[in-house]
Amino acid sequence: MKHFPALLILLIALAIPLAAQDAQGTDYFGGLHKKGSQLISLSTGAEIPLFILPQDAGASESYPLGFGASFSLEYQYFIANRLTIGGSLTGAFNTTVAGRTLFIAPIAAHAGYFWGIAPMEYSLGLDVGLTIMRLSGNGVITPFTKLNFGIYRQIGESWSLGGSLSYWLIPEIHTGAYSNLTRYGNFLGLTLSALYHF
């Protein structure tokens, strides 16, 4: 994943001129991005393990997971023009090299920013919360953070379709005698999404 930082920089560089272009318009995506508007998002896609770090960040090890699938439901409320708060519920499955299945279920608070001139809209989002992870009957509740960039196209008065690229950080923190098991999981999410504005 040596190309991930370059890809992230490219996406940010593409988003800056789009944001500047939108600053000249006043339609806030046809009125859907104004204070008091709401949206529900349904997403599904791939959840790709990037790398895992042990507690000593100076060392690294390979992550014994294969590509996985994810799905999510998200609600957002516009507290100001283009600015949202809300929450998300996500589920993801990955297989391991030993043939087992890792289940990840984050529940998070969400903050987002939308811009665009219809029919195109773009978003940046941050999720912070907790996730339940289970592997072979063993479970743990641990912190969860997600950064997200989305691109969508309006296909109707209230609907948009598009996709997003996200980065997940999941620290699995253990204390006491098990502190040597602490790990920091890093994932890439690629999803297709349907947004309903109301």
Q: Is 35 helix (H, G, I), strand (E, B) or coil?
A: coil
57 Cβ partners below 8 Å, 6+ apart? 184
Question: Whole domain around residue 184: which residue ranges?
Answer: 4-197
Instruction: Give this prediction's pTM.
Output: 0.78
Give the type of residue at 9. Answer: I
What single DSSP character describes residue 182? -
Angle at 189 between CA 48 and CA 131, to 5 degrees: 90
- Position 100 scores a pLDDT of 82
DSSP 114-140: EE--TTEEEEEEEEEEEEEEEETTEEE
pLDDT of residue 62: 47
Q: What is the mean pLDDT of residues 105-123?
A: 93
Q: Kind and range of the H or E element at 144?
A: strand 138-154
Q: Report which of residues 8 and 162 the model is more confident about.
A: 162
Which pLDDT band, with edges at 50, 70 and 90, does 195 fall under? very high
Average pLDDT over residues 73-81: 96
Alpha-helical (H) ranges within the chain are: 4-23
Q: Residues 170, 127: contact at Cβ < 8 Å?
A: no
What's the total number of domains in the chain? 1
pLDDT digits (tens, 9 = 90+) for 79-103: 999 999 999 999 999 888 777 888 9
Mind listing the pLDDT tens digit for each residue in 2-48? Answer: 555 555 555 555 555 444 444 444 566 777 889 999 999 999 999 99
CATH code of the domain in which 150 resides = 2.40.160.20
For the chain, what percent of residues have pLDDT higher than 70? Answer: 81
